[in-house]
Amino acid sequence: MYLLPCPHCEHEIPVANYQAGDETTCSQCGQGVVIPKLGQLRQLPTAESPTHSEPAGKLSDSELSPLRRGGFLLFGLIALASFLIAAFCGINWFLSETSGTTDEHLKSVRTEYAKVPAAQLIREFEDMDNLSLDLTLPYAYKTKENRRRDWGQNASVAATVGGLSILASLLLVMTGRRKQTD
């Protein structure tokens, strides 16, 4: 689009290439204006020209509102913090070792009980039955296994939050620019 100044009132009339050589009416003064041929039309400033100022209140494509910039910054910081947490948890998950499994534990208990005389096993069973002993704490291997599982879950949750934060910040910027160009 080219900006043709009205010869009567100097109002800029937007004109397209296909209108070259035609006539139009000025929206400001209502007078008829002859549109020059294409060669002369191309000498005029364009609507996108940097010399032409944009209407007040409309931001350029490269600018975002302060609220959108703040949201983008906030989501970016959340993503950064989430990825740092995910990395920390992932490293701890990788470095934590499990000392065994339930099957290995049962196998070792069977091996140890095979060495104990039957009379001692009967006495221990009677004591457990009379005193109603309960195991209150999990075994050490189970505690390590649970801790490792928790590190892995925390790492995956933090990475998911970081990814969603990046998507939210990009969506915020994309919708802000799309609305500004409409």
Both structure tokens of 151: 């590190």
pLDDT value, residue 57: 43
pLDDT value, residue 134: 66
Coil, helix or strand for 133?
A: coil
Nearest-angstrom CA–CA distance, 177 and 77: 21
pLDDT value, residue 76: 93
Measured at the CA of 2, the angle between CA 61 and CA 48, to 5 degrees, comes to 15
Nearest-angstrom CA–CA distance, 179 and 172: 11
Nearest-angstrom CA–CA distance, 73 and 61: 18
Nearest-angstrom CA–CA distance, 63 and 17: 29
Q: What are the CA-CA distances from residue 168 to residues 161, 176, 180 (Å)?
A: 10, 12, 18
Nearest-angstrom CA–CA distance, 138 and 156: 25
Please give the chain's pLDDT, 182 residues, in tens: 888 888 888 888 888 888 888 888 888 888 888 888 888 888 888 876 544 444 444 444 446 678 888 888 999 999 999 999 999 999 999 998 877 777 888 888 888 888 988 898 888 888 877 777 666 667 788 888 889 999 999 999 999 999 999 999 988 888 866 555 44
Strands 2-5 and 32-34, by their bridges, are unpaired
pLDDT tens per residue across span 8-41: 888 888 888 888 888 888 888 888 888 888 888 8
pLDDT value, residue 63: 60
Give the CA count within 13 Å in the CB-facing half-sphere of 73. 7
